[in-house]
Each structure stands twice: as C-alpha cells, then as structure tokens.
C-alpha cells in the first residue's frame, strides 16, 4: 500500500527543495469541502486550494461542463483557431467587473502571468516605465510579479537583480501602527523625492492583502489612490487574484469601496480547480496592445473556459456572494468570542472581509510581537486532527481561513471545533517545550 511517508521520500528524491512543502500528506480525492489522502484519512478543507475552490471541490456543474467539453475539443490555441467559450467568458467578465465604461478581456493561465501582462499593458498604454506597489503585497513569482511583491523571503532571495523602476510603499495596517495618512504621505514623498509621477505607469494594489496577512485596504485609501491616478494619468491596477469571485461578500473586493480600477487581474477562483486567469481593463487601454503583444499557447484552454463558465453560473445560482457574507459573519463572531475570552490571549486581532478571514497570533497583546512558531505548529496540529489550514503574513503569524463557499454549516462548525481543540493542544505543547 502507498503511504504518505513513502511518497514524501519519493518527493525528496524527485522534486527540488525550492518547491515548499506544507504537509506530508498526499490527497487522493475530494468532494466539496472535504478531502481524503492516500491512506484514507479525511480532512475538512479551510484552504480551498488557496482560494481556488470557492465553489468547492469537483462541483457537479463544473465537472459536467468539463466532461462535455472533453468530448468536443481539448486544445487548439485560441489565437490560431478560436472557439466560442473563450469569447463568452470574456464577455461575462467584461459585464461583471466594476466600472461604468467599455471593457475588454483576454485570458492567460496563472495569476503571475496576469500580473506580468497587466504591467506590459500599462507600459504600452502610458508610454511610462515605473510602477508603485506595497509592502506585504504578493503578486507572484515570475520576474515582474516577484519584483512587485513586497516580501523578500522566500520570494526574492537569490533571484536578483530585479526589474528596475518599481517602488514599494507602506500599506495601511492600523493594527501595526501604519495609518492610511502615513501610506498616502509616503506616496506623495515618493513623487517628490524619488520619481516624477509622469514616469509612473501604474499602481498595483490588492483590495485585501493576501499573503501579506489578509489586511483589507480602507475604502477611503482606495478612493485616494483612484484620485491620485486620475490626477497624474496613472493606471490603477487591482490584483483580485485571491479576493475575486464572491470570496469577500462581493463578486470582486473593489466593489466594497465603490472604486473601479483601470485594469484588474484575476485567477484562482475563476476556474473552480482548473488553471485559468484573466486581465480585464478599459477597452481603450486594452486596445493599445500591439498585435501579437499578448497571447500564450495554452491560455484560455477550452476545458478551463468551460469550467469558468460553470463557476460563474454556480456563483449566481447558489448565491455564493451572499453565502460568503454569512460564512464570514459566522467565523468572525466565533473568533471574536475566542479573542474576548481569557483562554486564547495569543489572539491579537481577528479581521475579515466576507469569507476572507484571518486570526493574527501574537506573543503579547501589548507589544503585538508576532508568534510565527505558534502558527507553524498549529497548522501541523490541525492537519493531524483532520483540518487543513494555511498561514500568511509578513512574519508568518496569521492563520487565514478560506473555506469553500459551498461548505455546509455543520461541516464549518466541525472545522471550527477542530481548530479550537488544535489551538489549545498547540499552546499546551509549546508551554511544555518552554
């Protein structure tokens, strides 16, 4: 019989250490918000493939559409011999994205590829080279995406030199003493001391920082960025790769602020488990791309387009935008109660936007010193107890909860109970070790 341990040994022999390893378990099958490994152990999924399976694992409608597509065609490459679903998906995204203006979309395969293309479009449309991004941001691991990312280790270590003309500013995080005013003052100072705004092509911003720690951008901050961009002819580029497709209680997180970006990058939840990403933007900007300037052999693969069209139908039919709000409220109420009690003094802050929920763990609530060792141990303990959890944050001290939006409430509560028991056990283990 194959075991997790045997495949861990085979992995070490076959795969480089640079591909990080969160758990030594190998998943055999999945349904909705549950997974089973090759040894038959069951796990409740609070990770959703890093916000990919918003519609759950193997949603019946998604599987049905992909199976039907398998009987038709699996690949042609859209720019050589196009197909209908690609066009239909782009039309739907143009209609869904915020902004009362004509839009156009093209498809790629990954979030990082979407970011790279957004940067290309911004430079082609503006004739400028510079970009602004934020500390704590994560935009991907390819060269421009890695440069825009606002976290050094492990994403940038040993990979320099990076792309020039990229400037990072503090992201507003009141819990850590970084105010919105400070962040905007830093932007003004950048324009006065480092680079003239007439050289900036775009400002990349996550409406909620993902890898950075699930910190929502204040609506007033996004509005101020919009005003700055309009004043200086800069493109506002929203990275909705982790926040998109109903996760935050809106179809897209930018909707919470009432701000429309010039370009939006999407991936993850769009394909319901199939690799697909997209860039949508103002039509006049998108049409600045020279012929042949964008494209990819596999981008907008017919199977992924079929899956994405099904995902959009599921979100609408099952009211997953509203469900995200319900899940987020339920989790937030529970975690707030934990924080208010004396049992878990290690909880520094609970925050959420819809079903994008985070618990930040600290050694001391007064100093707010991060406690990454607790979080690392907690994710392992939870997995031992049958719950999949992910960490995030610049210091790795945040647990992010990304349960599928289709998770039944009893299963959500079961996962919450496992999380609570695992946290108690982890604290006891750390106390014993001390």
pLDDT tens for 362-405 read 999 999 999 999 999 999 999 999 999 999 999 999 999 999 99
Q: What percent of the chain has pLDDT over 90?
A: 94
Q: Which pLDDT value is given to residue 20?
A: 85
pLDDT confidence bin for 429, thresholds 50/70/90 = very high
The token duo for 404 is 């599928």
d(CA 28, CA 53): 16
Q: Give residue 156's pLDDT.
A: 92
The overall average pLDDT reported for the chain is: 96
With CA atoms as reference, report the closest residue to 296 among 86, 49, 19: 86
Written as six digits, the tokens of 188 are 């003004």
Q: What is the per-residue pLDDT across 324-350, written as a single tens digit (0 to 9) for each? A: 999 999 999 999 999 998 789 999 999
Closest CA to 111 of 157, 70, 145: 145
Q: What's the pLDDT at 432?
A: 66
Residue 261 has pLDDT above 70, yes or no: yes
The stretch 316-327 carries a mean pLDDT of: 98
Q: For the residues 240-265, what does the mean pLDDT come to?
A: 98
Provide the pLDDT confidence category of residue 433 given band limits of 50, 70 and 90.
Answer: low
Question: Where do the H-state alpha helices sit in 59-168?
Answer: 60-70, 84-96, 111-126, 143-148
pLDDT at 111 over 60: yes
Q: What is the pLDDT of residues 76-105, one digit of tens each?
A: 999 999 999 999 999 999 999 999 999 999
pLDDT average, residue stretch 276-286? 98
Does the domain at residues 63-317 carry the CATH identifier 3.40.640.10?
A: yes
Tens of pLDDT along 2-33?
Answer: 899 999 999 999 999 888 888 999 999 999 99
- Whole-prediction pTM: 0.96
**How does residue 420 score in pLDDT terms, banded at 50, 70 and 90?**
very high
**Element spanning 19, H or E:** none
State the Cα–Cα distance between residues 256 and 252, nearest whole angstrom: 8
What's the pLDDT at 344?
95
Which H or E run contains 357? strand 356-364
Q: Using CA atoms, how far apart are residues 121 and 281, in angstroms rounded to an integer?
A: 9
Domain boundaries, the chain: 4-55+319-433, 63-317
pLDDT at 1 over 70: no
pLDDT over threshold 60, residue 177: yes
Q: Is the pLDDT of residue 243 over 70?
A: yes
d(CA 263, CA 274): 23
Measured CA to CA, the distance from residue 344 to residue 361 in angstroms comes to 9
- Decide the pairing of beta strands 103-108 and 277-282: antiparallel
CATH class of the domain comprising 4-55+319-433: alpha beta
- In this predicted structure, the answer to whether residue 434 has a pLDDT above a threshold of 70 is no
pLDDT at 219 over 80: yes
CB 190, CB 167: distance < 8 Å: yes
Kind and range of the H or E run holding 370: strand 369-370
DSSP state of 271: T
The average pLDDT across 148-175 equals: 94
pLDDT band for position 133 (50/70/90)? very high
pLDDT of residue 342: 78
């Amino acid at each position: 019989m194959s075991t997790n341990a045997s495949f861990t040994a085979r992995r070490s022999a076959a795969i480089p250490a640079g591909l990080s390893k969160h758990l030594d378990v190998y998943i055999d099958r999945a349904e909705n918000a549950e997974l089973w490994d090759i040894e038959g152990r069951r796990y409740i999924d609070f990770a959703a493939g890093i916000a990919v399976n918003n519609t759950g694992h193997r949603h019946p409608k998604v599987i049905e559409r992909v199976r039907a597509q398998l009987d038709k065609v699996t690949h042609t490459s859209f720019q050589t011999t196009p197909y209908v679903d690609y066009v239909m998906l782009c039309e739907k995204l143009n209609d869904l994205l915020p902004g009362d203006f004509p839009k156009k979309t093209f498809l790629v395969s990954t979030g990082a590829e979407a970011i790279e293309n957004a940067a290309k479009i911004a430079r082609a449309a503006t004739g400028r080279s510079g970009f602004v991004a934020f500390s704590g941001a994560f935009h991907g691991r390819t060269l421009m995406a890695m440069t825009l990312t606002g976290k050094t280790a492990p994403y940038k270590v040993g990979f320099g030199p990076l792309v020039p003309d990229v400037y990072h500013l503090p992201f507003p995080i009141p819990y850590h003493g970084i105010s919105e005013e400070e962040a905007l003052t830093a932007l003004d100072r950048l324009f006065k001391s480092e680079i003239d705004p007439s050289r900036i092509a775009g400002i990349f911003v996550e409406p909620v920082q993902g890898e950075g720690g699930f910190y929502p951008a204040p609506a007033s901050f996004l509005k101020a960025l919009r005003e700055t961009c309009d004043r200086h002819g800069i493109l506002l580029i929203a990275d909705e790769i982790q926040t998109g497709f109903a996760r935050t209680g809106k179809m897209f997180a930018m909707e919470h602020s009432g701000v429309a970006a010039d370009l939006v990058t999407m991936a993850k939840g769009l394909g319901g488990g199939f690799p697909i990403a997209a860039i949508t933007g103002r039509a006049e900007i998108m049409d600045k791309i020279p012929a042949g300037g964008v494209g990819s052999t596999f981008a907008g693969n017919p199977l992924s387009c079929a899956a994405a069209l099904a995902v959009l139908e599921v979100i609408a039919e099952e009211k997953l935008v509203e469900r995200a709000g319900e899940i987020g409220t339920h989790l937030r109420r529970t975690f707030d109660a934990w924080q208010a009690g004396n049992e878990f003094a290690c909880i520094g802050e609970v925050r959420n936007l819809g079903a994008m929920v985070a618990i930040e763990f600290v050694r001391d609530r007064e100093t707010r010193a991060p406690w990454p060792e607790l979080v690392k141990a907690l994710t392992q303990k939870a997995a031992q107890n049958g719950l999949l959890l992910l960490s995030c944050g610049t210091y790795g001290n945040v647990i992010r909860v990304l349960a599928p939006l289709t998770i039944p409430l009893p299963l959500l509560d079961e996962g919450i109970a496992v999380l609570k028991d695992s946290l108690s056990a982890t604290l006891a283990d750390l106390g014993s070790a001390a």
